[in-house]
A and B are shown apart, each in its own frame.
Chain A
Amino acid sequence: MIGAPVAGRRWAPRPLIANPTLRWAVRLAILAYLAAAVMTIDVNWPRVAQGVERSGRLLGDFLQPDFTSRWRDISIGILESLTMTVVATAAGVLLAIPVSVGAARNLAPLPVYLVSRAYIALSRTFPEVIVAIVFVVMMGFGPFAGLLTLTFASIGFIAKLLAEDVEDIDEGQLEAMRATGASWWQVIAYAVVPQVMPRFVGLSVYRLDINFRESTILGIVGAGGIGATLTTAMSRYDFDSAGAILIIVIAIVLALEYLSGAVRKAVQ
């Protein structure tokens, strides 16, 4: 009989937390947190209302981008971002190889393992911009600081993911190589490298993609790239130039994402 539910026996989806007391406690805790969080966020509503009006103008300017009047600054900034990306990725990829071998428990002795893991934790935890601030203090303003930042972060990123792959390799192939009397280097070359190569290539192009994204903002703290041009344009209310920069950045990000997707598909 459809449409006449039996009183008191209606189907309901199974709750996520079976214990009703705990379920309600969790719900209350979440509500309490949300209330506390929302209460501590000061919102200047008149300012926001002004912002809504401003955003219309901003969007209008962004949709009529001006590529020409600041083209010199824009092209230099974009070129700087691209060159930083290329060099940092190349250097990061090369330097990540020893670190990833060092961070793989099945290949490295314990002290080397701990040092490599500490480096990875340090470089992966801090956001690129914050690392860039430190490098700018040490190296002065300019793309060199950005280059070092991106290299530092790339090594940690690639080494961590590659080390996981190295730890997951087929032990049988290692043993087979060792059984032929191969040295440590020969074991790496003939048993480890062929197994992790596709992953390594995939990670490298993926990092190329990330490095470009990050290179677009490092200029905000003085570490070179298009970010400096973008902040200048924004602070001068030069939104049509800022719109042009954002469109170029989006186009390059999409192109790199497509490239990295295609390469990863080809090698796997």
Chain B
Amino acid sequence: MPVRTVAGRRVWRRRTPRANALAFTAWVAGGALVVWSAQLISRQTIWMFVQDAPEQAFNLFARMLPPRWAYAEQLLRPLWDTLNIATIGTLVAVVLAVPVALLAARTTTPHASVRALALLVIVASRSIHSLVWALVLVFLVGPGVFAGVVAIALRSVGFIAKLLNEAIEETDATQIEAIRATGAGPGETLAYGIVPQVLPAFAGITVFRWDINIREATFLGLVGAGGIGLQLNASINSLKWADASVILVAIFLMVLVSEWVSARVRGSIT
């Protein structure tokens, strides 16, 4: 315990002088980094445009309100597409993620080099934002819902495989050994030793990702990959703000519902 003698009395201090100096330096360095970064952003900003922001905001809300509720009717199909992008995308991702996770898990991988490759797939899939995936896929397969489905699937593979891989690595080895001791082959060991152990985690991960995917599917349309983002982009580009506000309300409700469903399902699993 750091104790210092001040004027003949022993006083308790929280940190040693050395730790104090280190903490102080860290704060100063962090502060300097933030200030320097802020200056850099400020230099890239046209402050004239920012100055009239309150006015612009007021104008924006004035144009958004009241929302043109009649437009909601035309949103049913985009909402259906958004739901499908998220759901089918998640299903495809699940199918692809299971083998990747099995190859990546230390306990089930056939070889260390295969494991490295599977981990690379996971990293590449996870580190690239779904909007970037969508950008690439619109170029490859053309604009539309299909590009969105594939973008969501490719982005989700890494996420699901990573979490599933962790669940597989945490399985109880004694249960697997017990199944093997009965003379089970590799397939049977998988089916009766590993699958029952990771099934709850797997279901939870899938529903969790589905919930995230609903949210992501709402903006893939911005780059042409289908879903309600398409309508949002179109209404903003043609300055139909009263339509845009209806779309924003629709997105809000859809995300809220998916979050509720996902929380309910995950709550009933664990």
Contacts and interface: CB of A to CB of B under 8 A. Distances in A.
A140 interface: yes
Interface residues of B, number: 57
23 contacts: A43-B144, A48-B141, A48-B146, A51-B142, A52-B140, A54-B140, A79-B40, A87-B34, A125-B255, A127-B215, A130-B232, A137-B60, A139-B49, A139-B50, A139-B53, A140-B45, A140-B46, A142-B46, A142-B49, A214-B129, A230-B135, A246-B128, A250-B127
Given A40-B81, A55-B140, A249-B128, A83 B40 contact: yes
A11 to B, nearest CB: 11
Nearest to A43: B146
Q: Which of A38, A47, A87 has the most CB of B within 10 A?
A: A87
Contact of A126 (B131, B132, B141, B251): B251
Contacts of B140: 51-52, 54-55, 58
Contact of A250 (B42, B124, B136): B124
Contacts of A138: 53, 56-57, 60
Interface in B232-270: 232, 236, 248, 251-252, 255-256, 259
B267 to A, nearest CB: 15
Contact of B145 (A41, A80, A82, A224): A41
A191 interface: no
B127 A134 contact: no
Interface stretch (A162-170, A178-186, A215-223): A215-223
Contacts of A47: 141-142
A134 B50 contact: no
Per DSSP, are chain A's interface residues mostly helix, strand or loop, or mixed? helix
A224 to B, nearest CB: 7
A87 B38 contact: yes
Contacts of B33: 86
Interface in B28-46: 30, 33-34, 36-38, 40-42, 44-46
A253 interface: yes
B84 to A, nearest CB: 4
B88 interface: yes
Nearest to A252: B127
A11 B53 CA distance: 69
Given A129-B131, A143-B44, A83 B37 contact: yes
Per DSSP, are chain B's interface residues mostly helix, strand or loop, or mixed? helix
B104 interface: no
Given A51-B141, A139-B49, A127 B218 contact: yes
Interface string A107-142: 000000000000001100111011001100111111
Nearest to B124: A250
Contacts of A217: 129, 131-132
Contact of B84 (A41, A133, A140, A141): A41
Given A80-B44, A137-B56, A250-B127, A41 B146 contact: yes
A140 B124 CA distance: 33
Q: Which of B34, B37, B49 has the most CB of A within 10 A?
A: B37
A90 interface: yes
Given A125-B255, A140-B46, A130 B40 contact: no
B167 interface: no
B237 to A, nearest CB: 10
A42 B259 CA distance: 28
B69 interface: no
A33 B86 CA distance: 13
A119 B268 CA distance: 28
Interface string B157-201: 000000000000000000000000000000000000000000000
Contacts of A34: 88
A44 interface: yes
A267 to B, nearest CB: 14
